[in-house]
A = this chain, B = another copy of it.
Amino acid sequence: MVTAARGRPRSFDRDAALDKAIRLFWRRGYEATSVRDLTEELGIGAPSLYSAFGDKQQLFTEALRVYDEKYGGFIDRALADEPTAKGAAARVFAEAPERYTRRDLPTGCLIVSGDAGTTSTEIIEHLRRMRDSKVDAFAAKIRADITAGRLPADIDPRALGRYTMSALTGLAQAARDGVTRAELDQVAEIALRAWP
Contact = CB atoms under 8 A, between A and B. Distances in A.
Interface of A: 28-32, 112-113, 116-119, 128, 131-132, 156, 158-160, 162-163, 165-171, 173-174, 177-179, 183, 186-187, 190-194
B159 A169 contact: no
A116 B160 CA distance: 27
Given A169-B173, A170-B167, A178-B128, A191 B190 contact: no
A168 B191 CA distance: 12
B169 A174 contact: yes
Nearest to A129: B177
Contacts of A112: 173
B32 A119 contact: yes
Nearest to A155: B190
A11 B193 CA distance: 56
A166 B174 contact: yes
A116 B113 contact: yes
Contacts of A171: 166
13 contacts: A31-B32, A32-B117, A128-B178, A156-B186, A160-B190, A163-B191, A166-B170, A166-B171, A166-B174, A167-B191, A168-B170, A192-B194, A193-B193
Contacts of A173: 112, 166, 169-170, 173
A175 to B, nearest CB: 10
Given A166-B167, A194-B191, A177 B117 contact: no
A81 to B, nearest CB: 24
A179 B158 CA distance: 11
Given A30-B117, A118-B117, A186-B156, A179 B167 contact: no
